[in-house]
Structure formats: C-alpha cells, structure tokens
A and B are shown apart, each in its own frame.
Chain A
Amino acid sequence: MALISNGTTIFDAGAMASGFGGSMTFIKKLTASNSGTLSFVNGASNVVLDGTYKEYLFTFNNIHPVTNGTLFHWNMSIDGGTNYNVQKTTTTFRPFHYETASDTPEWAYATDQDLANGTGFQTLVQGLGNANDENSSGTLQLFNPSSTTFVKHFMSSVNMQHTSSAPASVNWNAAGYGNTTSAVNAVQFKMASGNIDAGVICLYGIA
C-alpha cells in the first residue's frame, strides 16, 4: 500500500520516500576495546560499502592507543578484507602547535608519512600519546569506492595530542588515491604498534 499526499508518494512498498531521514545515513559503529584492528567489510555485520552511496564518511572519536607514540593508520581492500594492500599515492601535512606557547609552531609536509604507489597502511596521525586524556578525533572521506572506472580518492583530517615528550596539538591532513579501478569493498584501521585501547569509529553513507 502506498501513502500518497497531494500527488506525492510518502510511503511505497514499505519504504519511506527520500524526504525522510536526511542525506547522511548512519551505517555502522565499531567500538575499540583493546582491539588489534577495526574493519568495515561490505556485506558483513550490516556494513554497506558499495555502490549504494557515492561517498562514505568515517568519523573517529577519542581513539586511544595502548602504545605511546604510535601511529594510527588505515588501508583498503578489493577482495572483501582478505588483503588490505591497495596501492596508494598520497600527501600528508600537519600544523603542529606545542602546549608551551614559547615554542615555535610548525607547518610542514610529512615526507615520512606519505606513500608513492605504496601498498602499506596510510597514516592518519603519528606520534599519538597514550596518557589517559590523550586521543585523536577526526574524519575520513572515501569517494565512490565501488567505481570500476576511476581511482579511489580520499581525504582525511584528524587532530591529536602528541606524546607528553612534546605535548602539542597536531592536525594531520592526508589525501590521495587508491590507484585501482577495482571496487574497494573493505577498509581496515589499526595502530602501527600495539592495539587500539579505546575509541569509536562510525561509518556513514552520504546520499
């Protein structure tokens, strides 16, 4: 049964028209608890990461590492999560402002955190502290991962507290492309060393 108001279909075949719910759809939340990896695999555990949306947004809330000074990074898969090793070319830069006001802020390209057609995990933040209040939060946009025509562009911006050896606010910006025309159907996040102690990663689809 359809519900039609003044010629506009409100409900049809049990589904709501696009007027409901807005354009940003929550898909999945993963909560770290001393986790080695957090993975979003299309078709598993209610995850959608396919042609349903042209853009996917990951949000990171209070990502806290077990290991002090490690980096938080990610990769893509084209085989449903069997391998996370998509070739990528990326840029990475960050403004760096110390808690000690007299120290000079830095703003520089991070040549040691980008990839040149590398298959390794791409850094989101580096030097993340593990003191009780230290964490990182931010976003990652992944565009049209299911395309079989285009490379897979992404942009991330994540802020973090640097380790207590040099306490600072650091805003990491990484962007680039997965250099493949195969559909990307899984994404994995992990620390370079040690587990993800706590934190939440949410996945949204943008209509």
Chain B
Amino acid sequence: MGVISNGTTLLDAGALDSGVPTGAMTLIKTLTASSSATLDFLNGASSVVFDDTYKEYLFKFINIHPATDVRNLTFQVDTGTNTNYNQTMTTTQFNAQANEADDSTGLGYNASGDQAQGSAFQSIMDRVGNDADSCVVGTLTIFNPSSSVFAKHFMATCQAEQTAESRQFFTAGYVNTTTALTRIRFKMSSGNIDSGLIKMYGIV
C-alpha cells in the first residue's frame, strides 16, 4: 500500500520517498558486543549500507569494554569481497592524559600509534582498561568510502579510563587506495570485546 498526497507518493513499498524529511543523520546499524572477537559492518549484509548512499559515515563507540586489560581498540577496512583487512594507511595520532593522583599529565604526538603506509589495524584508543567500570567511548568518521578517485580520509576521537587515568586520543589519516571500501572491522589488539555498542550512521 502506498500513501499518495496531491499526486506525490510519500510512502510506497515500505520505503519513504526522498522528499519526506528523515533528518540528516541516519542510524544504519547497531552492533552489540558480547565477548566478540570482531565487530564487522559489511555493505549489503545485515541491512548495512556502506557505499555511495552517503558521503560520510559516522561510527560511535558506546561503553566498549575489553575482555583483556590494557588493550587497544583498532579498526581496518577492505575492498570488494576481500576479507584480509589489510589496506594501506598513513596516519597521525596524538593524545592527552591525566591521572587521578594528580601527579602526571601529558599532551603529545604518539609515534607508536601512527602508520606510514602500514597495513596493520589502526589503533584509535590505546591501552583500554578492563576494570568493571572502565570502557572507551568515541567517534570515527570516514569520508566518501566508495570513491574511486580519492584516498579515503578518516578522523577518530576516543576517550577512555585506564588504571585511574583519563586518556583522550585523536587519530586521523587516509586509506591509501582509490578502490571503493566495502567493509570495516573493529577489534581489540588482543582478546575479545567483552561488551559495548558500535553504532553506524550515514550523514547526508
């Protein structure tokens, strides 16, 4: 059944017409970790859209809790039907930290967290604690992943607590390929993601 107003189809076949306002930020998919080794978003699978439908994709990390103490939250991407998750990246990373004891603060470039044409999983949050109340939150934005012209830029900002210390990490860079990305994978540097949500949005 469709809904037609003054000759314009508003709803048809279960879909909204593009003229019906739905907001500029659309929730595409929520993945919930439950002792998960990886959390993957694959274009075309499980209602995930990761193509040229949107020029920008936003991922949000809500209370990601690692199974193993002091592990990094990381991501990689891949193209086509490839599942190696080893695309070449060049990236930057800096961070700020301060501890509860008020005897240590810092702000600086994190040379151990960047990549220079590397193909490893990119850390976006370093050394996440696994105390019961510890977790990481944050965002990752990927721009125009389906472009066949440009490299794929991304920016991430994450915040976590580890061993009574507040740590904020800023990571950015580009996936150095002109092939369209089709998938993204998140995982800890080792051990599982014990719990938490990763939400994927498309930005019009």
Contacts and interface: CB of A to CB of B under 8 A. Distances in A.
Interface residues of B, number: 51
A150 B60 CA distance: 17
A107 B109 CA distance: 12
- Give the secondary structure class of B's interface: strand
A82 interface: no
Interface string A108-136: 11010010110000000000000000000
Contact of B98 (A24, A89, A144): A89
Nearest to B201: A23
Given A89-B99, A155-B168, A206-B60, A5 B14 contact: yes
Contacts of A91: 96-98, 105, 107, 166-168
Interface of A: 3-8, 10, 18-24, 54-55, 89-93, 107-109, 111, 114, 116-117, 141, 143-144, 147, 149-151, 153-155, 173, 175-177, 179, 181, 206-207
Contacts, number: 135
B106 A144 contact: no
A171 to B, nearest CB: 12
A90 B166 CA distance: 6
A6 B133 contact: no
Nearest to B199: A54
Interface in B1-32: 1-3, 11-16, 20-27
Interface in B94-114: 96-102, 105-107
Contacts of B165: 89
Nearest to A148: B133
Interface in B149-204: 157, 159-161, 164-168, 197, 199, 201
